[in-house]
Amino acid sequence: MAAITLAIPSKGRLKDNCNAWFASAGVTMEQTVGARGYRASFSGFPDVEVMLLSASEIASSLLAGDIHLGITGEDLLREEAPELTGRMHLIKPLGFGFADVVVAVSGYWIDVATMADLDDVCAAYGQTHRRRLRVATKYAQLTRSFFAQARISDYRIVPSAGATEGAPAAGTAEVIVDITTTGATLKDNGLKILDDGVILKSQAQLAASLTADWSAGARKACETLLSRLDPSSPLYAALAPQLR
Amino acid sequence: MAALPYYDTPAIDALNSQAVALLKLFGERGYTREEPAVLQPAEIFLDRSGEEIRRRTFTLMDPSGRELCLRPDLTIPICRQAVQDKRKFPARIAYNGLVFRHQPGEPQRPTQFFQAGVELLGLDDCAAGETEILALSIEALRVAGLSDFSLRIGDLALFGALVDALALPAQWRARLKRHFWRAGYVETLLYWLGHGDGKPRLPGNRAEIEALLDARADAPMAGRSREDIVARAMDRAAEAAALHLDPAVADAIAKLLDISGPAEESLARIRALLKTAGINLDPQLAAMDARLATLKTLGVDPARVQFTAHFGRNMEYYTGFVFEMWARDKEGPVQIAGGGRYDSMMELLGAKQRVSAIGCAIRTERVLAAKIFAGGA
């Protein structure tokens, strides 16, 4: 049995970027035959098992300690574990999968450009409608802490599973918090990002679970893999003291 | 105290007999006991209380998808019931029960604890209501066996009146009041008002604003009317010009908010600062004098009453007089009781008109711990 498990996204551009990054370090991945393509290994690294999971599953598996290492978006990691300390360690930002988590409002709201404006509108909305203004998002944790920092409390989060950018037009929420790369989707839906509404500048991260089972063999395998993936920086040295 | 407390026999017996004594006192003073459900519809807390309570509320989904929560306090469910039952006022209600609070980042704090308390709803004579609740809270602590405690008092109405006395646009006065309970932020706003620039970002006349809106006719209205947006946009343009506070006044207020100390001395300092700023708050200050006099007749040593100007309690539903009682346990100073006036709550919960409300909650487990510490020391 392999000593550690590394999870990478099972499809899409993130997966391709991961493979390219491995290849640039001279590490080649071999899909395991017969496992329906969801397991793989690195040639020359028998102690590392590679799993292909969905990006959000990788974040929750890291938090649960079911896998040792994972590559996924920082947005998903921070949403899953608002307090990373003792739970996860971000080993290395990988320079791909760039996207911003932002607060966006209707472009029709010409009087709203900042979070302070939004605060006024939230308070006024509460008074006229007798209910709180709704914010649609799949990032409930990130939204909550960002709005708290901006001193906004008169709002309510509406969980959104997909197509969040359509919520203001559909009337299911007044404001959204969503991820965007170019802003084009937001613009197409008549939305604008608030001047000070960037919650997180996210990119793909190689992360370690601090709650996984870090046996001596697992540590050794991790050290070997990290020194191969990035020989120039002491990635394992920064991680090791946090492993219990 | 563990995050998930286990009460052994002596602990639960001590809590029970203390609760019996407290409820007996409340009953003798005309407060009848009520007990809301432990599970509550989540929205009454999510919609009505501040972020501080919300982020500490345990929410859950029942199998049909309805969002519920474990009650994070008893005041809101009790008030809600009083509104639904169209209760006759004044109403005097007592309670003793568990409340549940998530303690993010503080794993050593208990996620459930007992609160014993009273709510006085719909008594129009505010001063009488405050005297009654203060007296009852102090008597309750003494009945629970604790006489060595100090008080911290404040008044959100004082700050509201202060802001109303400033030559600022209405929107900004509302904003300052709304944020009073957030330590630090109001000072930042005040500094900005006194020393910042106020550059307008929007055109000042209606035609130009309407033209901007017409150009964005494809974007969703998102719950706001065109008139609402035009009105606010015009306000914003107008206020950019008006948005300036005499730096001397802004600094005087910042200093005032910083005042914290023995109550009588603090009030004297407030009077001096208000004089400098040319602001008259005599009625509010007189009300505070009266409360101090009440505390004296209740046998509370004035040296143990602290007035903190910037004291809004971390729950934004308070609207006026607020107080906390503090004692010591083996860990150090600990808040054992707290309460205050929350005159807008009943209306927020659906009452047809404003209903005055004031109450107090006692952290009974902390009172026991403080008593043990005082006895053992």
pLDDT of residue B313: 47
Contacts of B222 in chain A (CB under 8 A): 105-106, 108-109, 168-169, 174-175
How far apart CA B41 and CA B81 sit, in angstroms, is: 13
Ordered structural domains, chain A, with CATH? 4-98+203-242 (3.40.190.10), 99-202 (3.40.190.10)
pLDDT of residue B48: 62
pLDDT of residue B377: 46
Q: Does B69 touch chain A (CB under 8 A)?
A: no
Closest-CA residue to B33 (of B23, B21, B25):
B23
Report strand pairing: A191-202 vs B150-155.
Answer: unpaired
- The arrangement of strands across the sheet holding B39-41 comes to B39-41, B67-70, B59-61
How far apart CA B123 and CA B345 sit, in angstroms, is: 14
Ordered structural domains, chain B, with CATH? 9-157+306-376 (3.30.930.10), 199-242 (no CATH)
- Sign of the dihedral defined by the CA atoms of residues A214, A215, A221, A226, in that order: positive
How far apart CA B191 and CA B252 sit, in angstroms, is: 11
CB contact at 8 A, B59 and B118: no
Contacts of B220 in chain A (CB under 8 A): 106, 108, 168-169, 189-191
Taking only the tens of pLDDT, chain A with its 244 residues reads 689 999 999 988 999 999 999 999 999 888 776 656 688 889 889 999 999 999 999 999 999 999 999 999 999 999 988 778 889 999 999 999 999 999 999 999 998 988 988 988 998 888 888 788 999 999 988 998 898 888 787 888 888 888 999 999 999 999 999 999 999 999 999 999 999 999 999 999 999 999 999 999 999 999 999 999 998 889 999 999 988 7
- The arrangement of strands across the sheet holding A69-73 comes to A29-31, A39-42, A45-53, A4-9, A69-73, A204-209, A88-93
Contact B222 A107 (CB under 8 A): no
By Cβ distance, the residue of A144, A175, A190 closest to B218 is A190
pLDDT of residue B137: 97
pLDDT of residue B338: 94
**DSSP summary character for residue A32:** P
**DSSP summary character for residue A211:** S
Q: Does B232 touch chain A (CB under 8 A)?
A: yes
How far apart CA A64 and CA A51 sit, in angstroms, is: 15
pLDDT of residue A132: 85
pLDDT of residue B241: 63
Residues of chain B falling short of pLDDT 50: 313, 377
Q: Which residue of B has its CA nearest to A130?
A: B348
The pTM score is 0.70
Backbone angles phi, psi at A68, to 5 degrees: -90, -45
Contacts of A107 in chain B (CB under 8 A): 216, 219
Largest CA distance in chain B: 75
Question: Mind giving me the DSSP string for A98-161?
Answer: -EEEEEEEETT-TT--SHHHHHHHHHHHHHHHSSPEEEEES-HHHHHHHHHHTT--SEEEEE--
Instruction: Name which of B49, B221, B317 to mutate to probe chain A: the one with the most chain A Cβ atoms within 10 A of its Cβ.
Output: B221
Instruction: Name which of B43, B57, B67, B224 to mutate to probe chain A: the one with the most chain A Cβ atoms within 10 A of its Cβ.
Output: B224
Q: Which residues make Cβ contacts (< 8 Å) with residue B180, sequence separation at least 6? A: B156, B159, B160, B186, B310, B312
Contact pairs from chain A to chain B, CB under 8 Å? 90
Contacts of A106 in chain B (CB under 8 A): 219-222
Phi-psi label, residue A44: left if phi above 0, alpha if psi -120 to 50, beta otherwise: left
Q: Which residue of B has its CA nearest to A192?
A: B219
Contact A168 B220 (CB under 8 A): yes
- Chain B, window 121-180: residues with a beta carbon less than 8 angstroms from a chain A beta carbon: 171, 174-175, 178-179
Q: Does B199 touch chain A (CB under 8 A)?
A: no
How far apart CA A15 and CA A94 sit, in angstroms, is: 12
Q: Does B352 touch chain A (CB under 8 A)?
A: no
pLDDT of residue B246: 79
Q: Does B185 touch chain A (CB under 8 A)?
A: yes
How far apart CA B113 and CA B5 sit, in angstroms, is: 8
